[in-house]
Chains A and B, each alone.
Chain A
Amino acid sequence: MTGLLSSWISLLPRGVRWAGAATLLYLLAFGFSPGAWLQAPITFAFLLICPGVLLIDWLDLSDVVIAVAIVIPSSLATNILVSTILVGTRTYTAGAGLIASAAVTLSLMFLSFALQEARIGYEQLRWQTR
C-alpha cells in the first residue's frame, strides 16, 4: 500500500507535490493550533506559495529568482481574487476564506495533474501514430 502510494506520488508533477505537502502541513498546523510562531509562517507559506508553486511545472521556472518573481505574486493575486469575492458578497469569514483558498489550490492541483496526463497521452498518441 505504502509502495503504491509512493509510486503514485512520484508520478505527480513537482509543483503538485509541493502544494500538497504545504497543504498537509498547513492543515496539521491549523488543526493542532500550535501557536502563532508556527501557524503564522506556515499560513503565509500556504497563501503565498501554494497556488503559484504549480506554475513551476507549467513554466519550468528553474531559476529561483524568476520562480519567486512569478510564483508569489500569482499566489497572492489568486488569493486576492478569492477574498474579493467573499468580501464583495459579504460572506467573508476566516473559515470560508480558508476553504475557498484551499479549494482553489486543490482545483489547480487537479488541473495541473490533468494537464500533465493529457500531455503524456498526447505524446504517446503522436508516437503511436508516427
Chain B
Amino acid sequence: MEVALDIDAGRALAEGRPEAVTTLFERHHRTLFAFFLRLTGHRALSEDLTQEVFLRILRYGATFQAGQPFKPWMFRIARRVHLDHLAKARPHVPLEDLLEEPPAAQPCALEGLQAREEAARLEAALARLPLRKRELLLLSRDPDLSHQDLAALLGCTVGSIKVQVHRALKELRTLFSEEAP
C-alpha cells in the first residue's frame, strides 16, 4: 500500500504532473533528512540537501520510469546531491559547525537496546565510521532497499554488498565498544 502510493506519485511525475512531488515530500522528507544528518552532522545543511533532492525530483521527474520502485531512484539522486555537496564544500569547516550537537535520539522507540545511553553510543559510533561505510549502513538499514538495489546504487555485485555490509558492521561494533562509558 505504501509502495503503491510512491508508484502512483512517481507515475504522475513521469506523466508531467509536478504537483505529485508534494506527496513524495510528505512521505520521504524525514527519511532523507535523517540520512543526510547522519552523513553530515549538520541540521541546516541536511535540510538544504533534502530540499535539493526534491527540487531535482521535480526537475527530472519526467525521467522516472513509471512502475519502478521510487526509493532506489530517490536515493540515487540523494547520493548525487551529497557528492555534489562534497565536491563543492570548502575545505575550511567553521568551528561552530564542529561543535554542533549530535542529532537527538528518541529512546522510547528503541527496542533492541532499550537504553538512551546505548542509542547515543551507537549514534556516536556511527558518526565515527568512515563516510563510505556509514553511507552503506544507512542505506542498508532502509527496509525498502534490497541488496540488489544497493548493488545497483553503488555499482558492485550483490555478493560484494553483503560482504561490505558485514565488514562495516564489524567496524561499527569495534567503535561501539570503544564508546563504552
Question: Do A and B make up one complex?
Answer: no
